[in-house]
Structure 1
Amino acid sequence: MDRFSTDRLIAERLRDDHLADLVALHLDPEVSRYLGGVRAPEATKAYLAVNIAHWDRHGFGLWALRTRDGAFAGRAGIRHILVDGIDEIEIAYTFKREFWGQGLASEIAIALTQIGLSQLALPSLIGLVFVGHRASRRVLEKANYVLEKSTIHHGEDVVIYRIRQ
């Protein structure tokens, strides 16, 4: 599924030509504060390569998000992640600041959950969130994810929310 859309967003499979938009997104300190910090352009280039390889290996991954008028809005997707030594599959979403507070994260989280559970037939999905990121926690709760546990991931206090088939 290289492309899909929601009411307000168009998602397209992450490609090399999304690099400039991702670099700008990852250089914003407010956007990046819950992503482990600002990423240098070289780190974002490596991040892009890893996520393109994820698509090749698994047949799903991250999508670049655009508004209906074509403006880059952020990124979101479904990907494998190692948490506490367990291979989990998470939904992830990050938006440019100008798109915060409009319900887009909830819209994309619900779409990703439907894709993951129904189309990909995955047994469960997680959302991995910094403990203090209240807005993202609310997004997962609205999408019917249930708080499962707290843990440490890459040195940060996080919570894991889960939804099952």
Structure 2
Amino acid sequence: MDHFETSRLTAERLREDHLGDLVALHLDAEVSRYLGGVRSAAVTETYLVTNMAHWDRHGFGLWALRTKDGAFAGRAGIRHIAVDGVDEIEIAYTFKRALWGQGLASEIATALTDIGLSELTLASLIGLVFVEHAASRRVLEKANYLLEKTTMHHGEAVVIYRIRRQIP
């Protein structure tokens, strides 16, 4: 699924030509404070290459997000991540600061959850959030994820939320 839409966003599979938008997003200190810190252009380029390879390997990954008028809004996706030595599949979302507080994270979290559980038929999805990131925790709670545990990830205290596919 290279492309999808929500009521206010369009999502397109991450490509090389998204690098400039991603660099600008990752250089914003407020945006990056819950991503492990500001990322240089070189680090973002490696991030982009890694995430494009994820698509090739797994058939899903990160999408660049645009508002309906075509402006870059952020990035979001479904990807493999190692947590406490276990291969998990997480939903992830990051928006430009100018778009915070508009419900876009909840909108994309709901769409990603539906894609992951219904279309990809994954058994479960997680959300990994810095303990103090209250807004992102609320997004996952509104999307019916349940708090599973607190752990350390890359030296940071995080919480893991999980949602499981309902098997009829």
Question: How far apart are the structure 1 equivalents of 2:40 and 2:12?
Answer: 24
| Structure 1 equivalent of residue 33 of structure 2 | 33
Question: How far apart are the structure 1 equivalents of 2:79 and 2:18?
Answer: 18
State the 1:146 CA deviation: 0.1
Runs of 4+ aligned residues of structure 1 deviating over 6 Å after TM superposition are: none
State the 1:31 CA deviation: 0.0
State the 1:104 CA deviation: 0.1
Letter in 2 for 1:127: G
Question: How far apart are the structure 1 equivalents of 2:59 and 2:137?
Answer: 27
| Equivalent runs, 1:15-164 vs 2, <5 Å | 15-164=15-164
Gap regions ≥5 residues in structure 2: none
User: How many residues were matched structurally?
Assistant: 165
Percent pairwise identity: 80
Letter in 1 for 2:49: A
State the 1:155 CA deviation: 0.1
Question: How far apart are the structure 2 equivalents of 1:40 and 1:111?
Answer: 30
State the 1:83 CA deviation: 0.2
Question: How far apart are the structure 2 equivalents of 1:14 and 1:144?
Answer: 27
Question: How far apart are the structure 1 equivalents of 2:72 and 2:98?
Answer: 11
State the 1:16 CA deviation: 0.2
CA RMSD in angstroms comes to 0.1
State the 1:2 CA deviation: 0.1
User: Secondary structure of the equivalent of 2:38?
Assistant: coil
Gap regions ≥5 residues in structure 1: none
**1:31-55 deviation per Cα after TM superposition (whole angstroms, max 9, x unaligned):** 0000000000000000000000000
User: Secondary structure of the equivalent of 1:78?
Assistant: strand
Letter in 2 for 1:121: T
User: Secondary structure of the equivalent of 1:162?
Assistant: strand
State the 1:139 CA deviation: 0.2
State the 1:18 CA deviation: 0.1
Question: How far apart are the structure 1 equivalents of 2:65 and 2:11?
Answer: 5
Question: How far apart are the structure 1 equivalents of 2:147 and 2:41?
Answer: 34
1:5 is aligned to 2:23: no
**1:38-84 deviation per Cα after TM superposition (whole angstroms, max 9, x unaligned):** 00000000000000000000000000000000000000000000000
Letter in 1 for 2:151: T
